[in-house]
Structure 1
């Protein structure tokens, strides 16, 4: 009797999917080291070779980064953000800003259309945290909260693909914020694109939301060219 081919995916593919899910769910946070190889082998019940094949696949996609002698770290939350992170290294700040402009304006428009009361409350809390961090001189916390606000706007758009694409800018934008704050005259608490945007989202005013994003990013473009 002829044997029918197995439809079960290779074990390494199953392990890859499990590891990817741990990253995507937030169980393994961005920029943090994942459990050791020994722990994962025991927890997953697989061989060292199978685990290494899965880790290699996720490292190739940009989700994980293997640091010899130090461990393996989460570098992106998905294949999309992993690929984008690599691509940004080959493009100028101006090119990145121009792409962000398109995503930001659409995120703002959709957030003004779809945001819930919970979205608005979380956005307000992030702006409060940003303001407190800036006034307290905690620049890392300020940059995290500022980026968190923009990403939360993208999430409030109710378009998960747009949110995922936007989130891929995280590392680049965070580093850019920290670099900009050292320049003379930099305003760490601009109303445009932040408190004005939140007001437009809360009022479900799509055109006002887009307008304040444009004014904010045009100001950023002037900083880059000065």
Structure 2
């Protein structure tokens, strides 16, 4: 029971701190008040503040610098984003993929290197062995292929964003391919997509990517 009470107090402290951060009480990069100051301001114990600050540091919202204090790193909690992603619908996932993946594929067709192509061919060959067999293994391999496609755009921000979103992509693939036999055309589209990127044809690559995302069987 004492553990539950402590957890509840920490959650309350987190709610208050997140509310202040969201409302712009502190600017990104600003040094936050000390633990005693926050404890007094929030009306809670210093230990509770310390636990709440550790959670915020783990989520990446604040940076705790030993001997210097705590600094605000961002105003958006990644855990909140993950909760939204985990509750999105299949159609919402498709819409988001069109925005992120299609544009990234267009850039990849323009910027891909020979090293990118070698990695993509290897990933596609690896995933082909699982398409008609174990679905979980295929999804894992297919996500590697799609991440490499986005990586070929050579935009670290896009790559990181797609990795953050890829768990939703995996769920969408699982939902759409959870049947047998699976439509071979879906897998063939992956090969056509890679061929368009290899030919440095962004328009065709983006068109195939849209078709792949909008395909009922993914």
Work out whether the TM-score is over 0.5: yes
Instruction: Write the distance in 2 (CA, Å) between the matches of 1:50 and 1:80.
Output: 17
Instruction: Write the distance in 1 (CA, Å) between the matches of 2:117 and 2:49.
Output: 45
- Displaced runs of 4 or more, over 4 A: 48-55, 58-62, 79-83
Q: How many residues align?
A: 162
Alignment of 1:199-214 (within 5 A): 199-214=195-210
Cα shift at 1:157 = 0.4
Cα shift at 1:167 = 1.3
Q: CA RMSD in A?
A: 3.2
The answer on whether the counterparts of 2:127 and 2:141 sit within 8 Å (CA) in structure 1 is yes
Cα shift at 1:122 = 0.6
* Structure 2 portions without partners, runs of 5+: 1-30, 35-46, 62-75
Instruction: Write the distance in 2 (CA, Å) between the matches of 1:93 and 1:162.
Output: 21
TM-score by length of 1: 0.60
* Structure 1 portions without partners, runs of 5+: 1-8, 13-47, 63-78
Q: Which has the higher helix share?
A: 2
Cα shift at 1:81 = 6.2
The answer on whether the counterparts of 2:93 and 2:172 sit within 8 Å (CA) in structure 1 is no
Cα shift at 1:88 = 1.5
1:218 to 194, 214, 218: 214
- In the superposition, relative to structure 1, how do residues 84 and 150 fare at CA in structure 2: closer, same or farther (>3 Å)? farther
Structure of greater Rg: 2
Instruction: Write the distance in 2 (CA, Å) between the matches of 1:54 and 1:187.
Output: 50
Alignment of 1:140-219 (within 5 A): 140-187=136-183, 190-192=187-189, 194-219=190-215
